[in-house]
Structure formats: C-alpha cells, structure tokens
Amino acid sequence: MKLADGVETYGPEAERRVGFFTDTSVCIGCKACEVACKEWNLVPEDGLVWTGNSYDNTGELSANSWRHVAFIEQQAPDPLKRGNQDFRWLMESDVCKHCTHAGCLDVCPTGAIFRTEFGTVVIQDDVCNGCGYCVTACPFGVITRRELSGDGAAHKCTLCYDRLQDGMEPACAKACPTDSIQFGPLDELIERARERCGDLVEAGVSEARLYLADENDGIGGAGAFFLLLDEPEVYGLPPQPIVPTKHLGTIWGAAAVAAGVLAVGVAAAFFGGDE
C-alpha cells in the first residue's frame, strides 16, 4: 500500500492510513449509511424526488450526498442463492475514494483541499471559494458545489475527520448493520478484502472482484475500495480511472510549445514585409 500524496509532510505526526472497505456482497440497501452521514455531518437535503431507478432516490454522490447506495436489478442467476432464481440484486454504498493521487487536491487553487494526517482528503469549507475546478478533476464524480440555497463552496465526504481525531470510526461504518462498510487501517482492510474475495470466488461467485485495491492503478489505489459483483460501470464507476495530474508533464509541455508557437507566429507577422 502506497503512502497517500502529501502525508510525508506530517513527519512523525502522520497517523496510520485508514479507509473504507465496502463489501457490496453483504449490502442490504438499508441506506443507514446515507442517513448516519447526513445526521453526523449536517449535510443538507438534496431534493425529495423519485428517480424511478429501482430503490435509488439519491441518484448520485454530490455536495449534499456523501454516501450513495446504488440499486441494480438484474435478470441473472444469483450464485449465492439456491434454486432456479433468475434475478439478483446488486447494492453498493458509494463514497469518496480518498485517492492516493487525488485529482481534486492537485488542482485546488486555494489550498482549501488538503491531505490529513490519516491520509484522507478533506475540503476546508471556510477557505474554498467555489471555483469548481475540483469538480472537473475527480475521476469518480464525487464533488459538486452546494449551489443556490447552499454556501456555493465544494463539499464531499471527510471520512469523518472530526471523529477520526477522537479515535472513533466514521458515522456510516458505525451505522452499517451488516458490516458491508468496514473501517480500519488500510493495509489490514486490503488483506481482509483479498481473503473475502477469494472465498467468494471459491463459493462460486466468479464475478467477485476488488475495485481500487491495487496501488498500481491510475490513482495509486484508493483509501476507499470495494468488492464488486459485476463490472464497475454497472455501478456507475469508471473502469480504469486515471488522475488527470498523471499527464501534468505532457500538458505543461504542450502549453510551453503553444506559447513558443504563438511567439514565433507574432514574430513572423512582423517579418512578412509589407504586402
């Protein structure tokens, strides 16, 4: 497991990296995580609407939804059930991934987004000026601005930074009745998740896979990773997310070349001689 970008600046004050392992195979879709998060973090209401998409009326992660339970109804046999079933539920509680290489943190121009001593990513809402750059830099669509009735700043999951500082687990994990959301030191969680995934595959759930548990992926692995039972896109997750900063050198290089081309173009305009 990699150290999260920026944690080294804490020196001896750095804490052990913590995170979430969300095991979707035991999620029952109760949304206790969503409610606990709203209650603890005073996250405002995000519109009382019916989406028509199964039991999902939250819709997506946003400034006003820091946990989101996805519901997928599939015409497919459930390998965990006996009998001639041709239907299965997929439920997944989604959350900010607290990436090792966090795009939102990289692009934030005010320093409002920072890496905590626990390796998590937090927005200081009293510093954020709502420029919206982090919204375009998140490979998972986690962040939005709290518009209109809100404060106009960007908001997202803090992994309950206040609770962590008091040695408590985040509200969603605390409230989860099936331990689908597990909180703990990230290296322990990854080990446990690998074991669980292997057990499921041996039990016949060939589709079981870990998502974002690999430190060599495009975001350097995540502080919140998942055990999924189908392709990531089925849950609305990107299959191979990449932090945009990965191409920072190419982008600044292209800008430097472009600036040079412009200078040459202007110079050429003066050396054209008069027509």
- Which of 9, 85, 136, 178 is close enough to bind other proteins by CB under 8 A? 136
- Which of 8, 39, 147, 187 is close enough to bind other proteins by CB under 8 A? 147
Q: Is 240 in the site for other proteins (CB under 8 A)?
A: yes
Q: Residue 109 CB, nearest distance to other proteins (Å)?
A: 4
Q: Is 128 in the site for other proteins (CB under 8 A)?
A: yes
Distance from C-alpha of 47 to C-alpha of 173, rounded to nearest angstrom = 24
Q: Is 127 in the site for other proteins (CB under 8 A)?
A: yes
Q: If binding means CB under 8 A, how many residues of this protein chain bind other proteins?
A: 100
Q: Residue 104 CB, nearest distance to other proteins (Å)?
A: 10
- Which of 37, 140, 159, 172 is close enough to bind other proteins by CB under 8 A? 140
- Which of 13, 75, 149, 167 is close enough to bind other proteins by CB under 8 A? 75
Q: Is 42 in the site for other proteins (CB under 8 A)?
A: no
Q: Residue 167 CB, nearest distance to other proteins (Å)?
A: 31
> Applying CB under 8 A, which part among 41-49, 115-123, 157-165, 200-208 lies near other proteins?
200-208
DSSP 3-state of 81: coil
Q: Is 184 in the site for other proteins (CB under 8 A)?
A: no
User: Restricting to residues 44-73, which ones interact with other proteins according to CB under 8 A?
Assistant: 51, 53, 56, 59-60, 62, 70, 72
User: Restricting to residues 245-264, which ones interact with other proteins according to CB under 8 A?
Assistant: 245, 247-248, 250-252, 254-255, 257-263
Q: Which is nearer to other proteins, 170 or 221 (CB)?
A: 221
3-state secondary structure the chain: CCCCCCHHHHHHHCCCCEEEEEEHHHCCCCCHHHHHHHHHHCCCCCCCCCCCECCECCCCCECCECEEEEEEEECCCCCCCCCCCCCEEEEEEEECCCECCCHHHHHCCCCCEEECCCCCEEECCCCCCCCCHHHHHCCCCCCEECCCCCCCCEECCCCCHHHHHCCCCCHHHHHCCCCCEEEEEHHHHHHHHHHHHHHHHHCCCCCCEEECCCCCCCCCCECEEEEECCCHHHHCCCCCCCCHHHHHHHHHHHHHHHHHHHHHHHHHHHHCCCC
Q: Residue 150 CB, nearest distance to other proteins (Å)?
A: 8
Distance of CA 13 to the CA centre of its chain: 25
User: Restricting to residues 149-178, which ones interact with other proteins according to CB under 8 A?
Assistant: 151-154
